[in-house]
Amino acid sequence: MKYKRLFPLFIFLVISCNTNKIVLDNTENSDNFLSQETEQKIILQKEKQIADYKGSNTITNNLINTELHIRFEITEKQAIGNAIITLKPHFYPTDSLILDAQQFDISKINLIRKDIQTPLSYTYKNNKIKIKLDKTYTRNDTFKIAINYTANPEKVKSVGSRAIHDNKGLYFINADTKNPQIWTQGETQSNSCWFPTIDSPNQKMTQDFYITIKNDFVSLSNGKLVSSIPNADGTRTDYWKQSKPHAPYLAMIAAGKFSEIKDYWRDIPLTVYIEKGKESKAEKIFGKTDKMIEFYSRILNYDFPWDKYSQIVVKNFVSGAMENTGAVVFGEYVLNFKTEHQRMENEVVVAHELSHHWFGDLVTCESWSNLPLNESFATYFEYLWIEHEYGRFEADNHLADDYLNYNFEHYFKNENLIRFYNKHRDDMFDAHSYQKGGLILHMLRYTVGDDAFFNALHLYLKNNAYKSVEIHNLRLAFEEVTGEDLNWFFNEWFLNKGIPELKITYNVTQNTKIASIKIEQIQNLNKAPLYKIQTSVDLYFPDTVINKKIIITKQNQTFKFSVNENPLFLNFDPDNSILCKKEENYTSEQYIDILNKAPLYADKSEAFKALSSSDSNRLNNVYLKLAKHPYWKFRYKAIAAFKPGTEQSDTLTAKYKETLKDIIKNETNSRVKSLAVKKLKNLQ
Band of the pLDDT at 574, cuts 50, 70, 90?
very high
- What pLDDT does residue 160 have? 67
Band of the pLDDT at 8, cuts 50, 70, 90?
very low
- What pLDDT does residue 115 have? 86
- What pLDDT does residue 417 have? 96
Question: What is the pLDDT averaged over residues 271-297?
Answer: 96
pTM: 0.94
Asked if pLDDT for residue 627 goes beyond 60, the answer is yes
- What pLDDT does residue 649 have? 62
List, in order, residues 6 or more apart from 600 with CB less than 8 Å away: 392, 396, 574, 575, 576
- What pLDDT does residue 528 have? 96
- What pLDDT does residue 661 have? 96
Kind plus residue range of the DSSP H or E element containing 520: strand 514-521
Overall size of the chain counted in residues = 684
3-state secondary structure of 117: strand
- What pLDDT does residue 32 have? 57
Asked if pLDDT for residue 16 goes beyond 70, the answer is no
- What pLDDT does residue 422 have? 83
Closest CA to 50 of 420, 415, 428, 417: 420
CA distances (Å), origin 521, targets 282, 375, 504, 505, 651: 48, 29, 9, 12, 46
CA–CA distance, 122 with 494 (Å, rounded to integer): 42
- What pLDDT does residue 24 have? 38
Angle at 224 between CA 229 and CA 80, to 5 degrees: 55
Question: Over the stretch 363-384, which tens digit does the pLDDT of each residue have?
Answer: 999 999 999 999 999 999 999 9
- What pLDDT does residue 23 have? 37
Band of the pLDDT at 669, cuts 50, 70, 90?
very high
Name 560's bridge partners: 516
Question: Over the stretch 506-528, which tens digit does the pLDDT of each residue have?
Answer: 998 777 789 999 999 999 999 99
CA distances (Å), origin 664, targets 129, 587, 620, 678: 69, 34, 19, 10
Question: What is the pLDDT averaged over residues 643-658?
Answer: 86
Does the CA dihedral 271-277-282-283 come out positive or negative? positive
Closest CA to 205 of 108, 87, 360: 87
Helix axes 617-626, 651-666, angle to 10 degrees: 10
Residue range 367-493, CATH number: 1.10.390.10
Comparing 23 with 64, the larger pLDDT belongs to 64
Comparing 164 with 492, the larger pLDDT belongs to 492
Comparing 155 with 18, the larger pLDDT belongs to 155
**Cis status, amide bond into 668, omega within 30 of 0:** no
CA–CA distance, 504 with 279 (Å, rounded to integer): 53
- What pLDDT does residue 164 have? 76
- What pLDDT does residue 50 have? 85
Asked if pLDDT for residue 163 goes beyond 50, the answer is yes
- What pLDDT does residue 509 have? 77
Question: H helices within 411-484, ranges in order?
Answer: 437-448, 450-464, 471-482
Question: What is the pLDDT averaged over residues 424-443?
Answer: 96
Contact 270, 309 (CB under 8 A): yes
Comparing 157 with 631, the larger pLDDT belongs to 631
Question: Over the stretch 110-141, which tens digit does the pLDDT of each residue have?
Answer: 999 998 999 999 999 999 999 999 999 999 99
In this structure, the number of other CB atoms found within 10 A of the CB of residue 336 comes to 12
Band of the pLDDT at 7, cuts 50, 70, 90?
very low
Question: What is the pLDDT averaged over residues 391-414?
Answer: 96
Asked if pLDDT for residue 223 goes beyond 90, the answer is yes
CA–CA distance, 251 with 245 (Å, rounded to integer): 10
CA–CA distance, 277 with 283 (Å, rounded to integer): 12
- Percent of the chain past pLDDT 70, that is, above it, reads 95
In this structure, the number of other CB atoms found within 10 A of the CB of residue 521 comes to 21
CA–CA distance, 185 with 321 (Å, rounded to integer): 9
CATH superfamily of the 61-355 domain: tricorn interacting facor f3 domain (2.60.40.1730)
- What pLDDT does residue 284 have? 96
Does the CA dihedral 597-628-650-679 come out positive or negative? negative
CA–CA distance, 632 with 487 (Å, rounded to integer): 41
Same CATH fold, 367-493 and 61-355? Answer: no
CA–CA distance, 264 with 271 (Å, rounded to integer): 8
Band of the pLDDT at 647, cuts 50, 70, 90?
confident
Contact 400, 602 (CB under 8 A): yes
What is the SS3 string spanning 347-407?
HHHHHHHHHCCCECCCEEECCHHHCHHHHHHHHHHHHHHHHHHHCHHHHHHHHHHHHHHHH
Read off the DSSP letter of residue 56.
Answer: P
Domain 499-595 in CATH 2.60.40.1840? The answer is yes
Question: H helices within 483-599, ranges in order?
Answer: 487-493, 588-597
- What pLDDT does residue 678 have? 97
Q: Mean pLDDT of all residues in the chain?
A: 93
**Do the strands 181-184 and 253-256 form a parallel or antiparallel pair, or are they unpaired?**
antiparallel
Q: Domain map of the chain by residue range?
A: 61-355, 367-493, 499-595, 615-684
Asked if pLDDT for residue 20 goes beyond 60, the answer is no
